[in-house]
Chain A
């Protein structure tokens, strides 16, 4: 178990150090998310529409679109120079690769979200600080589900010719239940609803998170093998 955890940590740490040195991913994700929010800001008349009603959808559109950039890059990094082969030759269970990449994707996306949230607050004039904890919990659940499924599909798409196109095509339809749930929960959190008032949506999101991770554990071995 210790070896499993240290191997998972080694992969996540390696991705983190690589990103610190190359600085290719985070900047692109942040700017893309910011652009998505700006485009919506200029296309919506906030004096007519209530910000807390349209805001959650726009926020998650920004998270998911920019997160897809990160997922695309995630396994591409391993394909360069045959590094995925190096990982697969290590005496480790293949789920180690999945969980290592899942953690690094989750951390990158979470950091980007933490940078976007204050800007969202300013652009939409919504005070998120009052309801910060429920909001962060909802974002945690949504990001986990997105990364759990996204990491699996990114490993699958990395072997395909049109990987940049295939990942969103495969990912977004399967994400629909989680997206609906997190957009609803974010709206409720911004309106001051406590977590206890959104248990149905939380249950749905947690269930899908578990399903996505479970399916990934069962299939990653076959997906990674050529």
Chain B
């Protein structure tokens, strides 16, 4: 079997499953995303959003089914596939005792960039952190760390970005700045898959919207065809019926 898919799809997922013992975190998901498209995946806590991103980023293997990212089969693509992707997660993947420059130069070397210093500086410029480039990351606010995390993720100019709840813990201003940066990345024709709880923001930014509930994709549609009010109701129903939150309500 070939590990490269010849297609215009940036991401192609077919009957993807991931099981942890008896728990099915991802349960038979199938969808396709064309190059340059922005998909927002909504879902309550424990719906399988992070697991989906981990599988697509090659950080964990699927139990069954297949997924292609940038034409590579995720469990076989290896280093070639990882060159094509950038991931922004809840955790910034930055060393707190190093400066932004030191962090980005380090990652630049790990990605085998020809001139890691220049690339690091260019990425810092993109996210407006050049003036703080020699301060330790430990001294940064959550919003600045998240912007630096974007700089890390785009350092090697990936064609596909995975964003796992990038707005978590940000105040309104920081979220607005981050949203602008993400919009810029999308304008540069990058394919983006973002998981989020923020319905209005997620729908505003994306080309396609999906709803993931208990590991299953219950909704996948072009955002132009989505009625935002109905979608919000559907999302909040999913959150209300989610076993995790239901458990919390019962305890309360």
Contacts and interface: CB of A to CB of B under 8 A. Distances in A.
Interface of B: 54, 57-61, 78-80, 82-83, 85-87, 89-98, 102, 106-107, 109-112, 136, 152
Contacts of A89: 57-59, 82, 85-87, 93
A10 to B, nearest CB: 4
Interface residues of A, number: 28
B83 to A, nearest CB: 4
Interface string A32-64: 000000000000000000000000000000000
Given A6-B112, A81-B93, A90 B107 contact: yes
B111 to A, nearest CB: 6
Interface of A: 3, 6-7, 9-11, 13-14, 17-18, 21-22, 77, 80-83, 85-93, 225-226
B109 A91 contact: no
Given A88-B59, A89-B82, A225-B59, A81 B92 contact: yes
B110 A87 contact: yes
A21 B91 contact: no
A88 B91 CA distance: 14
Contacts of A10: 106, 109-110
Contact of B107 (A6, A80, A86, A88): A86
A88 B59 CA distance: 7
A82 B54 contact: no
A80 B145 CA distance: 14
Contacts of B60: 225-226
B79 A92 contact: yes
B136 A21 contact: yes
A96 to B, nearest CB: 8
Given A82-B93, A226-B54, A93 B79 contact: yes
A191 to B, nearest CB: 44
15 contacts: A7-B109, A7-B112, A13-B106, A21-B97, A21-B98, A80-B96, A81-B96, A82-B89, A85-B91, A87-B110, A89-B57, A89-B87, A91-B78, A91-B111, A226-B59
Given A6-B112, A91-B111, A14 B98 contact: yes
A88 B60 CA distance: 10
Nearest to B156: A91
A91 B93 contact: no
Nearest to A9: B109
